[in-house]
């Protein structure tokens, strides 16, 4: 395999809240790929805005950064301005030969990639497709759903013309790409991964459990954070002194709503908001101090957090989503989507049965070992080079 000299990662979807950059599984996926490719000798460039540069530096990505003049706030206005400013490409990209890597299928990542491709036809243009969203999404407003849908589908429209390959993060997403008219010859199903050896090393050092449950995702309705609080209320009614920690970031409005829910349900002693954690060692250490991982999310495409939780040795309880069930099979506990009472019953059963927790722990650790980032990054590069 002939290794390209350069790669340009485009990531304009990140924002800043309370002075800290947001972080998602999709962000960490391309960042981990970038780290691995950099280690293979590829010159890594990143085209992003202030929030993206901040996040990359916090999680230890070494790269040459190029700044897009885009807002970093989470708001409808910020969303629209990102789309409009997508055409303002830095002048240095009039000449670029290598891999152009759009980290998402959204307009604000695809448009800059298409512009670079037009100026440099010999470069290979890659679009990562995380999923194909419905018009109306659970857990968010109609306005947000419509804007998300338009942004994403405009990205797919432009990508169909200019992209050399679409990397679908799951087989169901690949099937959805075919459904919306993308040629099967341009679609390659890929995976995400975990830093398996590092996670196991950290987990082995943690001997005490401080928390009963842990949720780690963006603080947003579609990702299930509000469901997590309601589920925990039911768990507390059965086991009064259990503690849940919430790891993630969100808008000020969502954090205020979360704090209000916790107060109204009198869960101040049972639920603790930690916010985002950027240092991987700290994140894995805190996960290892927990007993059960909760993911009542309504939309996922691969769910890196599930892989990390399994590598730690945590049983995972998750809403049953068709996009991720083929990936995780029977290594997580599936709950019908939206059934918070059943979800809570299963969490209570796990907390009261250490043998059951141990069964799922051993099963998950064994299963997730195949998703190590080194191999995934190598296979992905091979797929692109062969296109």
Residue 29 lies in a domain: yes
Q: What confidence category does residue 338 fall into, taking pLDDT thresholds of 50, 70 and 90? A: very high
User: Helix or strand or coil: residue 252?
Assistant: helix
Strands 211-216 and 244-247: parallel
pTM for this entry: 0.92
How many Å apart are CA 137 and CA 140, to the nearest integer?
A: 6
Q: What is the pLDDT of residue 66?
A: 96
Which CATH number belongs to the domain containing residue 173 in this structure?
3.40.50.2000
pLDDT greater than 90 at residue 92: no
Token pair recorded at residue 346: 């299963």
- Order across the sheet with 6-11: list the strands: 64-67, 43-48, 6-11, 99-102, 124-129, 165-169, 187-190
Token pair recorded at residue 135: 């018009």
Residue 14 lies in a domain: yes
What mean pLDDT is reported for the chain?
Answer: 94
Q: What is the pLDDT of residue 67?
A: 93
- Strand (E) or helix (H) holding 266: none
- Digit-coded pLDDT (tens) for 180-214: 999 999 999 999 999 999 999 999 999 999 999 99
Both 188 and 234 in a single domain? Answer: no
Residue 1 lies in a domain: no
Say what percent of the chain tops pLDDT 70: 99
Residue 40 lies in a domain: yes
Both 39 and 88 in a single domain? Answer: yes
In this prediction, residues 313-334 reach a mean pLDDT of: 96
Q: What is the pLDDT of residue 2?
A: 73
Both 98 and 219 in a single domain? Answer: no
Q: What is the pLDDT of residue 187?
A: 98
Both 171 and 236 in a single domain? Answer: no
Structural domain count of the chain: 2
Residue 305 lies in a domain: yes
Both 111 and 78 in a single domain? Answer: yes
Both 173 and 273 in a single domain? Answer: no
In this prediction, residues 89-107 reach a mean pLDDT of: 92
Both 203 and 257 in a single domain? Answer: yes
Residue 125 lies in a domain: yes
Residue 247 lies in a domain: yes
**Structural domain span for residue 107:** 6-193+372-385
Q: What confidence category does residue 1 fall into, taking pLDDT thresholds of 50, 70 and 90? A: low
The partner residues of 270 in beta bridges, in order of sequence, read none
Q: Answer yes or no: are the C-beta atoms of 107 and 158 closer than 8 Å.
A: yes
Higher pLDDT: 45 or 19? It is 45
Q: Would you put residue 338 in left (φ > 0), alpha (ψ -120 to 50) or beta?
A: left
- Digit-coded pLDDT (tens) for 149-176: 999 999 999 999 999 999 999 999 999 9
Both 203 and 176 in a single domain? Answer: no
SS3 string of 344-374?
Answer: HHHHHHHHHCHHHHHHHHHHHHHHHHHHEHH
pLDDT greater than 80 at residue 76: no
How many Å apart are CA 193 and CA 134, to the nearest integer?
A: 26
- Digit-coded pLDDT (tens) for 339-373: 999 999 999 999 999 999 999 999 999 999 999 99
Both 35 and 158 in a single domain? Answer: yes
Both 148 and 275 in a single domain? Answer: no
How many Å apart are CA 298 and CA 221, to the nearest integer?
A: 8
Q: What is the pLDDT of residue 246?
A: 98
Both 230 and 354 in a single domain? Answer: yes
In this prediction, residues 270-285 reach a mean pLDDT of: 95
Q: What is the pLDDT of residue 140?
A: 86
Residue 283 lies in a domain: yes
In this prediction, residues 90-118 reach a mean pLDDT of: 94
Both 186 and 231 in a single domain? Answer: no
- Strand (E) or helix (H) holding 165: strand 165-169
């Amino acid at each position: 395999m002939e290794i390209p000299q350069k790669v340009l990662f485009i990531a304009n979807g990140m924002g800043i809240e309370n002075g800290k950059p947001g972080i998602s599984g999709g962000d960490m996926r391309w960042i981990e790929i970038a780290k691995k490719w950099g280690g293979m000798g590829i010159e890594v460039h990143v085209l992003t805005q202030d929030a993206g540069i901040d996040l990359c530096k916090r999680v230890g990505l070494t790269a040459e950064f190029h700044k897009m003049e885009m807002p970093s706030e989470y708001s409808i206005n910020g969303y629209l301005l990102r789309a409009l400013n997508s055409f303002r490409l830095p002048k240095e990209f009039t000449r670029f030969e290598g891999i152009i890597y759009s980290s998402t299928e959204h307009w604000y990542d695809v448009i800059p990639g298409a512009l670079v491709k037009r100026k440099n036809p010999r470069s290979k243009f890659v679009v990562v497709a995380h999923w194909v969203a419905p018009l109306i999404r659970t857990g968010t407003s109609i306005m947000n759903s419509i804007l998300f849908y338009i942004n994403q589908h405009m990205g797919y429209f432009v990508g169909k013309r200019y992209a050399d390959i679409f990397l679908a993060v799951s087989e169901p997403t690949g099937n959805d790409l075919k459904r919306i008219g993308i040629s099967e010859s341009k679609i390659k199903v890929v995976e995400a991964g975990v830093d398996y050896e590092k996670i196991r090393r950290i987990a082995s050092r943690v001997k005490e459990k401080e928390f009963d449950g842990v949720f780690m995702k963006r603080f947003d309705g579609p990702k299930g954070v509000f469901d997590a609080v309601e589920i925990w209320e039911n768990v507390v009614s059965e086991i009064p002194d259990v503690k849940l920690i919430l790891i993630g970031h969100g808008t000020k409005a969502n954090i205020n709503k979360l704090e209000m829910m916790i107060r109204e349900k009198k869960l101040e002693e049972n639920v603790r908001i930690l916010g985002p954690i950027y240092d991987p060692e700290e994140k894995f250490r805190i996960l290892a101090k927990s007993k059960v991982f909760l993911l009542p999310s309504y939309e996922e495409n691969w769910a890196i957090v599930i892989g990390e939780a399994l590598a730690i040795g945590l049983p995972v309880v998750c809403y049953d989503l068709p996009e991720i069930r083929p990936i995780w099979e029977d290594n997580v506990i599936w709950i019908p989507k939206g059934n918070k009472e059943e979800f809570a019953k299963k969490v209570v059963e796990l907390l009261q049965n250490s043998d059951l927790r141990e069964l799922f722990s051993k099963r998950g650790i064994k299963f997730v070992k195949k998703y190590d980032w080194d191999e995934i990054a190598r296979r992905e590069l091979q797929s692109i080079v062969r296109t």
